[in-house]
Structure 1
C-alpha cells in the first residue's frame, strides 16, 4: 500500500456541524456541490500514450499556426512587424531579415536592456520570465535527477501507482517510506533557493528602479515632478494660495492645473469628432459616386450614361445635380442618462435607422455633419472662454507640478493638512494620458466609498461562485454522461475512439481558458467603478484580484477533492486540517497539470504568433470600416498595447503551481520550463516588433515586486502539502516515522511566514518612494535605442512623432486641448476632392481649411473598387 492514506480514511462529517449555519443548508449545498472531486483527479493514473496523443494533436495545430506566421511574416509586415513601419520614423525598429526561421536567432539575442525603452513594467516582466526560467532549470533539474529515480523505484510487490503517477511521490510504498527523506531535503533546498531568489530580485528591483527614476531625463520631465492631490478645500483652489501653502516644500510649486467641469465641453468634442468623421466619410462616398457616374464599367453603357447625365444636367442646376450624388446612413441618436445618487452619467448611442420608425426623412450627410460641426466648434470655444475667465466649476482634485522631483515626493509622503479629510490622498508621477477623468470629477463621498466596497464584494462573489461553471467543465471529459445529458451531441460517437479520447482530454482546458478570459474582462470593467484615479493604480489593483481568481479557480478548485462547501467549512472550522486536505488531493492532480501546461504552451505560442484576429481585422474588417484617410491612418498606427495588470498574474500562478509540484511530482518542471521558454520567445519578439512602446499606465515597475511576493503562495502550498504528507505517511507496521520531519516542516512554515513579513516590511517603502539622500552616483539609464531604419511599406511613410502637448495645457482635460480640425481628403485624378474642400470651407467657418496632402485614392480600371493610400499623418494630428 502507499505511504499516503487516502482521503476516504478521514471523516470530515464532524466539520459540517459548523457554527456557520448557512453553509449547512441543503439548498446551499445543492447549489455549490456540483462535483465532489476536483476535475484534475480525472487525470490521475493516465499513461504516457494518452498524454502523447493530446500533445501531438496540440503540436499539429501549433505547427500549422507557426507555419502561417513564418511564411507570411516577411510579406504581411503591417501585421507581423508593425513597429518597423507604422510608428514615427525615429522610433522604428530595423526589420528582421527575410527567411522562414531567420527571426528566431535575432529575437533570442535581444538584449534585456533594450526593453527598458518600453518602461520598467516591460523590462521587469521579461526579467520575471527569465528569472522563473532559470529557477526551474536549476531547481527542477536537481529535483528530477534526484527524486525521479527514487519515485520510480519506490513501489513494491504489494503497491505500485498506475501510469505516470509512478514518477511522483504517490508511487512510494509503505515498505520504502524512508525514501521520503530525500523529498524532505530537496524541499528545504527548493524553499531556501526561492527565498534567496526573491530577496536578490527585490534588492535588484530597488536599485534599478531608483536609478531609472533618478536619471536626468526622468527627473526633469513633467511627470517626474507631478503630484495629483485629492480633497482640496474650496478656499485653497487658487494658485497663489496653494503656492504659499506649499512654500515649505524645497523648490516650491512651478505650475497648478485645476480640474474644471468638463462634462459639457467633452460632450461637444465628441460630437465634433463624430461630425468630422461623418463629413469626411460623406465626401469619400460622393467621390465614389462621381467617378462611377463619369466612368461606367462597360463601354456600351458609357454612351447611355453620358446621354442620361446630359439629360439630367439639362433639367437640373449644378447644385441640384451635386445634391443628387450626395449620400443620405440616418444620423445616430445620442442621449445622456444621469444617475444623481451615484453622480454618474451613461452615454447611449442608438443606431440612426431607428429614426425610420419615427417617420423621419433621410437628410444629406454633408449638410447635417457640417451644421453639427459648426455648432459644436462654437460651443467648444465658448467653454474654453468660460474656463479662461474662471467661470467653470472647479473640482476638489488638482495637479501640482513642483520645481524638483524631491519636492513632489516630499509632498506625497507628508500629511498635508491637520484637518481630517483635507488633502489626504495623493498620487505621484501621474502620466497625463493615464488619468481616469470620470473618477477624477467625482467628489469623495460615502456614495463612492460604498460603490468601491460593492465592487470588491462582487469580486469575492465571482471568485467563490465561479466554481459552478468551472465544475461543469468536468462533464466534457465524460462523453457518455455528456451525451446522455444533451442527446443532440450524439454525433460525437461517429468519431473513432482515439479521437473522442483526445477531444475529451484537451477540450476542458480550452473551455477553462475561455471562462478565465471572460472573468478577466469582467474584472477590468468593474474596476473602473472603484474610483481609481489613474490607469497605473487600476493595473496594480487588478493584479491582486486577478491572481486571487486564477489561483483559486485554475489550481485549488480543479485539484482539491470535496465540494466547495466542505472546503470552506473545513478551513474556517479547523485550519490545522489544511495540510491533510492538500496532501490527500494535490498528488492526484499532477498529471492534469502536465496536460494543462503542455496545451497552454502550444495554444499560447501558436495563437499569439499567428495573430488570427489581427489578420481578420486588417484584411477584412478594416476594409469595410476604414473609409476615410483618417480612419485608415488610425487603423494602421493603432498598435496593440499590453495591460500588464492581467498579464503578470497568469505567470505568477503558473510559477506557484510549478513550485507546489516541484517535490510532489518533479516531472512538472519539464513542462514549466517548456512553456516559459515559449512565452519568453514570444514576448521578446512581440514587444520589439508588434506592441506599442508607449504605456500610459506605466507603474514604474511596481507590478514586479507584487509578482515576486505572489510566489510565496506556491511556497506555502508546498510546505503545507509536505507537512500533511509527512504526518500521514505510515510504514508497514502502521507507525508514522516521518513525524519529526513534519514538525520540522511546520517550523519551516513559521520561518517562511516570518521571512515573508520581514522582507515585505523591509522593501515595501522602496516600492513607491525615492531616497532623498544617496551615497552612490546615479548613472543615466539609456532608455532609447537608435534606429536608422528608412524602410517604408507604402503606408505612413513620413509619419513623424510630435513633441507632445503644450506644457501649459498638459494636465488639462483633453477636451480643453481640442483645436479646430482640418478636413483631410485624398487626392484624386480629377481634383474633385479639392473642390469639395473649398465648398465645405464655406459651410464650416471654424475649420482650419483642408488638404489632400499625404493621402490619395486609387481606382481600378472599372472605377468600382477604391483603395485609400496613406503616407503621412493627418494635418491636425498631435
Structure 2
C-alpha cells in the first residue's frame, strides 16, 4: 500500500510536475525583471549620484573615507567597483561593513563546498534510488527506496557537516584576530570611547567623583554619572518642533512677500520700508491660524512660536537646575580609564552585586549610540520590560505562522486541487498561470511579509531596556533569526510538504512516515524558486533601490519647504540594518545545509543567488551605505554562533527520514553525529567565549607572568611557553592532559595571529594627510557622556534670504527674542522658488562630526 501511494504521488508529477513548471515560471519573469532593473540602474546611476553613489562626494562622509570616482561619465564607476578590494570597506566604512562582505563570501563558500561534496555522490544515488519520482524530484531524497543507497547520504552527511563545523570554528577564530587588530589600531585606540566603560546597576556612591578610585581603581580618570532626565527629552522635543515650525512659517512668509511683490510689480526697496518703521508684509496679509481650528480666534503663528520657544527654554533651564535631577538608586555611570588596556581589565574584573541574567557592563560605547532613557532604569523594571518584549516576540513569531502557512500551501496548489474538492477549479487554470501561482507568488509574498518584521522587532528591542542601539540591534538579530528559521523555513517547509499528502495521511495514518519521507523533500521546490527570486529580482532591486529614489524625489519636489528640510533630505544616507541583513542570509545557509543531503540541488541555487547578492551588497557598501549602528564585529560573531542551527535541523531531519525508511544502522550513525555536533559546538562556545567577550590580547597579560611561571612551572624567561600557557588558560584548556593544551593553544593562536596580522596590515595601509573630523576640546570631553537633554541648545534657525529684505526683518525680530537665525547659503528667487548651496561647508547648520 505504501509503495502504491508513494508511486501514485510521484507519478502525479509527470509532464506537469510542479518542480519543472515552478522553476521555469519563477525564473523567466524574475530574470527579466532583474535585467530591467539593472538596465534602469545603469541608465540613471550617474544622474542620481545622491542615491547611487553618495559615498563618492556627500559632505556627511568625511573626505578621507569617500570612495574615489574619477568621473561621473561612462563606465568609470564600474572600473572603480572592480578594482577596489573588499578591505577598502574596512579602511573607509567600518569593521562591520567589511565583515558583512566576508560573511557573504563565507556562506557562499560553504554552499559551494556542499555542491562539490554532494552532487557527484548524491545526485546519482538519488536518480538510481529505486523510486518513481519524475523530473527534478528524481534528484532528491524522495526518489530513494533502497536502504543501501542511504549509505551515500550518511557518508556525505558526516563529511560535509564535519567540514561545516570546522569552517565555522576557524572563522570564529579569525574573527577574534580581526576584532583585536581593529580595536587595537592606533587611530581607534586613541579615542575616548575606546577607553570608556559603561556600568549599569552601580551604587550611587560609585558615581561620585571622590569615590572613583575606590570603585574603579587608580587607572580611572573621569566619570559621567547618568542622571534622571524626567520630562526633559519631551520638553526639548517640543522646543525643537516649535523652532522648526517657526522656521517653516517664516519661509512661507518670505515666499508670500516675494509673490505679492511680483503681482504688484513694485520695485524692490525693502530698506526704505524698514526705515519708516513698517513691516514689509502688512499685518492683514501675514499668515494667520485659529485656535481652536475653524471657529477659534485668529493669531499670528510666528509670534506665538517665538513666545512658546522662550517659555519652553525657561522651563527647560528650570528643570535642568532642579535638585530632582539627581542620580537614581540603581545608577549607571560611564568611566574613562587611563588607557585601553585598563578599560578592558576593568570591563573584565569590576562587578556590582550578584550575577544577573542580563549584561551590566558595556565596552567602548560611543555617545551617539546610547539610548539615554534606558540607562537609569531600575534592574527590576529592566528585567520586566525585557520579559514582556520576549513574550511578545514569541507570540508574534508563533501566530505569524498563519499567513506564512497559507502562503506555503499555495506552492502545492496542484496537489490541493486534486485532493480538496472545492479547489479543483485550480486544475482548469492555464499551465503558465498555474506555474506562476505555485512558483513565483509564494516566495514573493513570503519575502514581502517578512521584510517588515525586523523594523517591528527593532522598535520592541529599544523599548525592552537595551542601553545602546548596538545592543538593541544584536537583540533584534537574535529574534529575527529565530523568526526566519521558524517561519520562513520550518512552517513553510511543513506546509509545503505536508499539505501535499495531508488527505492521504488521514486516509492511511499508518503510512504517514513513508508519505512524509517521500513528500517532505519535495518542499525543496519552494526554496529553489525562493532562491531564484532572491538571487535575481530581489538582488537587482537592492541595487536599483527605487524606493529610496522615489522617496527622495517625492520629498525634494513636494514635501520639503525649508532649507533645513531640503538639506536633511539631501544629507540622508542609507544605513546598514545588520539585524535585517544577517538573519536573512544566515537562514539561507541553514536552509541550504538542511537540504544538502535531502535535495542537493538547493545548494546550487543558493550558491548562485548568494553570489549575485554579494556583488549587490558590495556595491552598496562601497558607494551607498553608511554604517549607523556599530556592533564592533558582534553581529558577525552572533551569525557564526547561529549557523550550527542548520546542522542540528539537518541531522534531525535525516534521523527522521532514515527512521521512516526503517534504516536502523544509518539512523544510529546520524544520532551519533548529532551528539558529536552538539558536543563540539558546546566546547567551542565555552573555549572561545573569553576571547570573544574580552579582547584577550597577549600584550596586556604582563601581570600574569609571575603567576604563570609559579603555577605552571615555566621558566620566567621562556616567553613562548608563557604565551602558550596564558592562551591555554583563557581558552579553558588547562583541564586537558598535557600536551593537549599547548598543541590546541598553538593551533588556535596561529589562526588568530594570522588574521590579526592581515587586518593590521590593511589598516596600516591607510595613511591620511590629516583627520577631517572635528577635534575634541575640553568642553567636548566634559559633555561627552552627558545626556543631550542636559546640554542641547535651541536649534539655530535657517531661512532663505530675499531681495525684499523680509528675511533680514525676521532675523532682527528673532534676535530680539533670543533666537539665533541666519539666511546664509539659501535664497528665494523672484519666482518664489527656493535655492540652497549644496556645498556642505557653506551650510550654516552643518558641522563636522566629533569622533569620541
Scaled to the shorter chain, the TM-score interval is 0.7 to 0.9
Residue in structure 2 matching 1:113, options 71, 87, 90: 87
Measure how far apart 1:710 and its partner are: 1.7
Question: What is the CA deviation profile of residues 518-550 of structure 1, one whole-angstrom value per residue up to 9, with x for unaligned ones?
Answer: 332222222223211111111221222111111
Question: What is the CA deviation profile of residues 317-366 of structure 1, one whole-angstrom value per residue up to 9, with x for unaligned ones?
Answer: 833843334333668xxxxxxxxxxxxxxxxxxxxxxx316x43342222
Q: How does 1:385-784 map to 2 (within 5 A)?
A: 385=321, 392-395=325-328, 396-417=331-352, 425-445=360-380, 447-474=381-408, 478=413, 498-560=432-494, 583=517, 586-693=520-627, 695=628, 697-729=629-661, 738-771=663-696, 773-774=698-699, 780=760, 783=763
Cα distance in 1 for partners of 2:240, 2:2 equals 71
Question: Per the alignment, do residues 421 and 494 of structure 1 end up closer, same or farther by CA in structure 2, a change over 3 Å counting?
Answer: closer
Unpaired runs of at least 5, structure 1: 10-40, 297-301, 332-354, 566-576, 730-735, 790-798
Cα distance in 2 for partners of 1:50, 1:699 equals 40
**2:201 — aligned with what?**
231
How many positions carry a matched residue from both structures? 759
**1:342 — aligned with what?**
none
- Residue 148 of structure 2: SS of its match in structure 1? helix
Cα distance in 1 for partners of 2:560, 2:593 equals 49
- Residue 440 of structure 2: SS of its match in structure 1? helix
Question: Per the alignment, do residues 291 and 518 of structure 1 end up closer, same or farther by CA in structure 2, a change over 3 Å counting?
Answer: same
**1:220 — aligned with what?**
190
Q: 8 Å contact 1:92–1:787 — kept in the other structure?
A: no
Q: 8 Å contact 2:207–2:224 — kept in the other structure?
A: no
RMSD: 3.9
Unpaired runs of at least 5, structure 2: 500-510, 700-722, 724-752, 848-852
Question: Per the alignment, do residues 804 and 169 of structure 1 end up closer, same or farther by CA in structure 2, a change over 3 Å counting?
Answer: farther
Cα distance in 1 for partners of 2:65, 2:247 equals 30
- Residue 398 of structure 1: SS of its match in structure 2? strand
Q: Does 1:377 align with 2:300?
A: no
TM-score normalized by the length of structure 1: 0.78
- Residue 111 of structure 1: SS of its match in structure 2? coil
Q: Does 1:875 align with 2:849?
A: no
Q: 8 Å contact 2:69–2:80 — kept in the other structure?
A: no
Q: Does 1:169 align with 2:141?
A: yes
**1:130 — aligned with what?**
105
Q: Does 1:267 align with 2:234?
A: yes
Question: Per the alignment, do residues 562 and 112 of structure 1 end up closer, same or farther by CA in structure 2, a change over 3 Å counting?
Answer: closer
Question: Per the alignment, do residues 164 and 634 of structure 1 end up closer, same or farther by CA in structure 2, a change over 3 Å counting?
Answer: same
**Greater mean deviation of Cα atoms: 178-187 or 103-112:** 103-112
- Residue 394 of structure 1: SS of its match in structure 2? coil
Question: What is the CA deviation profile of residues 157-216 of structure 1, one whole-angstrom value per residue up to 9, with x for unaligned ones?
Answer: xx4202210122222344xx4333332222222112112211110110111111211222
Q: Larger relative contact order (C-alpha < 8 A, sep ≥ 6)?
A: 1
Cα distance in 1 for partners of 2:44, 2:210 equals 61
Cα distance in 2 for partners of 1:259, 1:612 equals 42
**1:841 — aligned with what?**
815
**2:802 — aligned with what?**
828
Cα distance in 2 for partners of 1:561, 1:381 equals 60
Residue in structure 2 matching 1:289, options 247, 251, 256: 256
**1:324 — aligned with what?**
284
**2:503 — aligned with what?**
none
Cα distance in 1 for partners of 2:4, 2:593 equals 21
- Residue 197 of structure 1: SS of its match in structure 2? helix
Q: 8 Å contact 2:232–2:316 — kept in the other structure?
A: yes
Measure how far apart 1:670 and its partner are: 1.9
Cα distance in 1 for partners of 2:149, 2:493 equals 25
Q: How does 1:327-366 map to 2 (within 5 A)?
A: 327-328=287-288, 355-356=292-293, 359-366=295-302
Q: 8 Å contact 1:108–1:681 — kept in the other structure?
A: no
Cα distance in 1 for partners of 2:631, 2:520 equals 36
- Residue 840 of structure 2: SS of its match in structure 1? coil
Residue in structure 2 matching 1:856, options 817, 823, 827: 827
Q: Does 1:367 align with 2:367?
A: no
Cα distance in 1 for partners of 2:259, 2:55 equals 37
- Residue 560 of structure 1: SS of its match in structure 2? helix
Cα distance in 1 for partners of 2:284, 2:428 equals 60
- Residue 165 of structure 1: SS of its match in structure 2? helix
Q: 8 Å contact 2:193–2:364 — kept in the other structure?
A: yes
Q: 8 Å contact 2:826–2:834 — kept in the other structure?
A: no
Measure how far apart 1:579 and its partner are: 10
**1:37 — aligned with what?**
none
Question: Per the alignment, do residues 220 and 866 of structure 1 end up closer, same or farther by CA in structure 2, a change over 3 Å counting?
Answer: closer
Cα distance in 1 for partners of 2:14, 2:451 equals 24
Question: Per the alignment, do residues 380 and 544 of structure 1 end up closer, same or farther by CA in structure 2, a change over 3 Å counting?
Answer: same
